[in-house]
Amino acid sequence: MINEEEFEQRTYRLLNEAAHVYRGDQPAAALLRSTLDRLADPVRLAVTGPARAGVSTLVSALIGEGLAPVELPGEPLASVTYRDGTQPRAWWQDERGTAYEIPTVRTAHGLRLVPDGRHAGRPEGARRAVVEWPSRVLRRTELIDTHLPLPQVQQTADAVLYVTPHLGEADLQALQAALGIRGPSVFPVHTMIVLSRADATGGGRPDALLTAKQAARRRRREPRVGALCQDVLAVSPLIAAAARTLRDDEFRAIATMAALPRAAAEAHLLSTDRFTAADALRPVAAQQRAQLLQRFGLGGIRLAITLVRTGCDHAAVLGERLQEHSGLKELQASIAELFTARRVALRARSALTILDRLLRTQPVPPAVHLLAELELLLADAHEFRELRLLAALRAGRVNLPREHAVDARRLLGGSGTSLGERLGMSPEATAEDTWSAAHAAADRWREQAHGRDLVPAQRRAAEVVLRSCDMILAGLDTIAAPAGPAAYA
């Protein structure tokens, strides 16, 4: 069993050795060099799904800017990568990966790439773009808005948000087909499902978002679904994006409608036709109502009006509450816990998946031992087991007694992956306090794992937590153990 740092180091050494073995094969060597370079990059999170599922809108909501979709006149883009940068810039890439900087124009519906004379002769297939944008969100996570087939997405991303209006059989089959049958690709620790029509559940009733979240919780408990992803969440990308970019004039219009007599206003909120009618809600112009409808949807407008009536008296307050109701806050928390905090493991998984595929499809005699070393590395990687158990605990697929569940989640790294965060120690804790807490945790979970109080599934979970405790103790070897005969033997 190895910790995160050793896992990363062994992955790097294995890729370096493979690059040396394949140095005579130019395409393979280039692939391994680029894979090595990407180990130092932020985690790459791809957002994908069926057409009209709200993929680009969710990307804008996550960034907090109305950047997506990006349009290239004349042909649709297969994927757009958003990265942090000092100033807004954009490139398009040809099939060979060659990048060409291209001017951009900000529009009301996203970014538009504007080819000029230098780009007139671009080759066919130049359907990928890279956008640099100053963003705190993008400093640790690159976002990829993509419509490529899911197996291709898995090859280019460290983690995936699969966005779908309704989780049906076709979605499950697509997710199943994208999983490998051996090696690192069998671990579905990199995928999260987003149900994107949360605001339209049950015909867009006032409780639509709550109903959708309850449905997502039921789906995430299903064994078949749990075997394909880390979590299932219900989100309204439309409401989330509008909330992140809410303008003062939009707030004033919503507040004006909220101040109207409820009996008179409610009749105009029953359908889009009634809401946009020329004689409806007269204090707000019909054109402005149409713009609000495009930005929020009718369900989002109903929700915003209700929130203003119940105390959201400022644009910032309303935007924050809309984000909570839209499901965006919960999604951001899941991304932070399961993806961003585990970026080392996810980047290593992506790199090892590429190496595993190369070793199996282009075997050479000097590389035979590398495949065995890769399999040994995966067997030692406890991170993936932690991620799967964290997801199972979140989803309710595995339940531990209440007095142990919080302790388990913290020791598994659910509140942070440092030794102090896993043990719940303050920064001022002494080495003796830390050793004492680590041994006490190991004793607690050894008793649970080997006792008879838990059912078999819970004991298996306790064994994973115990291994995490052992990993913590191994990490404490760098801290001097308390001296004396009663030191923790």
Provide mean pLDDT across the span 122-136: 78
pLDDT for 121 equals: 56
User: Rounded CA gap, 301 and 169, in Å?
Assistant: 32
CA atoms within 13 A on the CB side of 47: 28
pLDDT for 149 equals: 87
- Residue 350 neighbours by CB under 8 Å, 6+ apart: 35, 38, 44, 157, 158, 190
Q: How far is CA 432 from the centre of its chain?
A: 37
DSSP secondary structure of 154-199: HHH-SEEEEEESS--HHHHHHHHHHS-SSGGGG--TTEEEEE--GG
pLDDT band, very low/low/confident/very high, at 327 (cuts 50, 70, 90): very high
Examine the pLDDT at 131 and tell me if it is beyond 90: yes
- pTM, 2 dp: 0.87
Examine the pLDDT at 446 and tell me if it is beyond 90: yes
Place of tokens 């009006």: 305
Provide mean pLDDT across the span 310-317: 94
- Is pLDDT larger for residue 486 or for residue 156? 156
As a whole number of angstroms, the longest Cα–Cα distance in the chain is 86
> Which of the given ranges, 122-131, 170-179, 215-224, 309-318, has the highest pLDDT on average?
309-318
pLDDT for 488 equals: 43
Examine the pLDDT at 415 and tell me if it is beyond 90: no
pLDDT band, very low/low/confident/very high, at 486 (cuts 50, 70, 90): very low
